[in-house]
């Protein structure tokens, strides 16, 4: 396994939200019965309707929370011809990807992010650092919290990368190389990259981006994944995703100093598939890692983040170390949420009920993504 150490390794202290005692939730779900109405960003939403679910902050004793989220932004390209294969998303292309469409895309993505309001956000299918900076400028949440960006260029031929945002209003800067003069919110960090072999130098894939954070005396590492797609068939491409799982597992096994970790991303496999269950060993509380999506699908096997041929796939997942899943007696148990609202779904036509995309075939729809985002509240002991 080759590990490409690029950029700086930075550490931040997350100052999560201190919570007072209430009963903790277990795996929270979108269509809970008898759920109350809540308001966020001036939107009052009933939790009784799964398509109108809204985030409720979880509170539990003397624990602090950090909200982590992941969103596949589905082809967030700028309009400039770059060194990557971006011919499909240029003004002169058949999609006529011009400034207006690009700005609409940024505006739509920002709306979702502002509704989620995560402390740590992993994203994929972004072309470069420029689109991340543009997205930050369109997002009230990312702008007002002075979110930092963690990113490096992908070897993927199309140039679609993974990246990470985190909000430094919860951060104290003290790591080597990190500015203390208040300008660090303008600094894009490279993080570290685990290379994923494909066996074909002409067809490289995305690496696994990771960065380390610190909360008081506890460190945890976040891995952002976008494993190889199923293009060409699930069985034929299965070994590629198993390679990615193997690299992540090996990295964790070889770095025993990492006791708390979060692996989020678009894994292009379901939680029950062999790359995740067997190779990575992610599943329930007794496995190598606890896949919150696996726990959810045991209860709701038909739930997912992408609809394909009438079936919901749960490719977008959040996996955590056992140390973050159960902190001790009376500790809250984290669960994953699928962020599913009416305006994120196709309202009519052949694909009614599907995630509302930017394009439907060649037709411009001015939607969001072919994936729904996921998020989870993780808990940290408050001394």
- CA distances for 342 relative to 27, 50, 72, 346, angstroms: 22, 9, 18, 8
Residue 159, pLDDT score: 86
Residue 72, pLDDT score: 98
Span 23-76, pLDDT tens digits: 334 444 443 333 343 333 444 333 444 444 344 443 445 778 889 999 999 999
Q: Which of 366, 344, 368, 361 shows the shortest CA–CA distance to 98? A: 366
Greater pLDDT, 176 or 338: 338
SS (H, E, C) the chain: CCEECCCCCCCEECCCEECCCCCCCCCCCCCCCCCCEEEECCEEEECCCCCECCCCCCCCCCEEEEEEEEEEEEEECCCCCCCCCCHHHCCCCCCCCCHHHHHHHHHHHHHHHHHHCCCEEEEEEECCHHHHHHHHHHCHHHHHCCCEEEECCCCCCCCCEEEEEECHHHCCECCCCCCCCCCHHHCEECCEEECCCCCCCCCCCCCEEEEEEEECCEEEEEEEEECCCCCCCHHHHHHHHHHHHHHHHHHHHHCCCCCCEEEEEECCCCCCCHHHHHHHCEECCCCCEEEHHHHHHHHCCCCCCEEECCEEECCEEEEEEHHHHCCCCCCCCCCEEECCEHHHECCCCCCCCCECCCEECCEECCCCCCCCCEEEEEEEECC
Mean pLDDT confidence for 152-157 = 89
Q: Which of 287, 268, 285, 267 shows the shortest CA–CA distance to 277? A: 287
Span 345-368, pLDDT tens digits: 999 999 999 999 999 999 999 999
Span 281-323, pLDDT tens digits: 999 999 999 999 999 999 999 999 999 999 999 999 999 999 9
For the chain, domains (ranges, CATH) are 3-381 (3.60.10.10)
The structure tokens listed for 36 are 């109350």
Residue 277, pLDDT score: 98
| Listed range (214-223, 244-253, 311-320) with the worst mean pLDDT | 214-223
Mean pLDDT taken over the chain: 82
Residue 20 confidence (pLDDT) above 50: no
Residue 215 confidence (pLDDT) above 80: no
| Listed range (152-156, 168-172, 300-304) with the worst mean pLDDT | 168-172
From CA 257, how far away is CA 335, in angstroms rounded? 25
Mean pLDDT confidence for 195-222 = 86
Binning pLDDT at 50, 70 and 90, where does residue 216 land? low
Residue 30, pLDDT score: 45
Greater pLDDT, 309 or 217: 309
Q: What percent of the chain has pLDDT over 90?
A: 64
Residue 339 confidence (pLDDT) above 80: yes
Residue 162, pLDDT score: 97
Length of the chain (residues): 383
Binning pLDDT at 50, 70 and 90, where does residue 344 land? very high
Residue 180 confidence (pLDDT) above 70: no
Mean pLDDT confidence for 6-29 = 36
Greater pLDDT, 91 or 55: 91
Residue 346, pLDDT score: 96
């Amino acid at each position: 396994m080759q590990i490409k150490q690029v950029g700086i390794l930075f550490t931040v202290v997350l100052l999560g939200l201190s919570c007072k005692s209430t009963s903790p939730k277990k795996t929270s779900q979108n269509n809970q019965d008898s759920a109350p109405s809540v308001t966020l960003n001036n939107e009052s939403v009933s939790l009784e309707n799964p398509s109108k679910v809204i985030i409720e902050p979880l509170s539990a004793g003397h624990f602090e929370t950090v909200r982590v989220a992941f969103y596949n932004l589905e082809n967030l390209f700028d309009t400039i011809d770059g060194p990557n294969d971006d011919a499909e998303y240029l003004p002169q292309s058949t999609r006529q990807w011009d400034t207006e469409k690009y700005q609409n895309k940024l505006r739509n993505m920002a709306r979702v992010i502002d509704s989620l309001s995560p402390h740590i956000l992993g994203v994929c299918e972004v072309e470069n650092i420029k689109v991340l900076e543009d997205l930050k400028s369109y997002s009230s949440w990312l702008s007002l919290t002075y979110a930092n960006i963690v990113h490096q260029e992908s070897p993927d031929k199309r140039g679609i990368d993974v990246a990470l945002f985190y909000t430094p209003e919860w951060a104290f800067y003290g790591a080597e190389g990190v500015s203390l003069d208040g300008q660090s919110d303008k600094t894009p960090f490279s993080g570290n990259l685990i290379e994923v072999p494909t066996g074909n130098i002409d067809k490289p894939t995305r690496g696994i981006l990771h960065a380390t954070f610190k909360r008081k005396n506890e460190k945890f590492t976040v891995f952002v994944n976008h494993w190889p797609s199923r293009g060409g068939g699930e069985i034929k491409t299965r070994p590629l995703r198993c390679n990615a799982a193997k690299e992540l597992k090996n990295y964790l096994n070889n770095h025993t100093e990492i006791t708390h970790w979060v692996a989020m991303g678009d894994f292009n496999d379901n939680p029950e598939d062999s790359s995740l269950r067997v190779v990575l060993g992610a599943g329930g509380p007794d496995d190598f890692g606890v896949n919150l999506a696996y726990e959810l699908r045991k209860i709701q096997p038909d739930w997912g983040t992408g609809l394909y041929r009438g079936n919901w796939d749960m490719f977008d997942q959040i996996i955590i170390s056992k140390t973050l899943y159960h902190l001790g007696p009376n500790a809250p148990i984290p669960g994953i949420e699928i962020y599913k609202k009416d305006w994120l779904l196709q309202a009519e036509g052949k694909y009614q009920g599907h995630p509302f995309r930017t394009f439907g075939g060649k037709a411009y729809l001015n939607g969001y993504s072919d994936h729904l985002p996921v998020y989870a509240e993780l808990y940290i002991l408050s001394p």
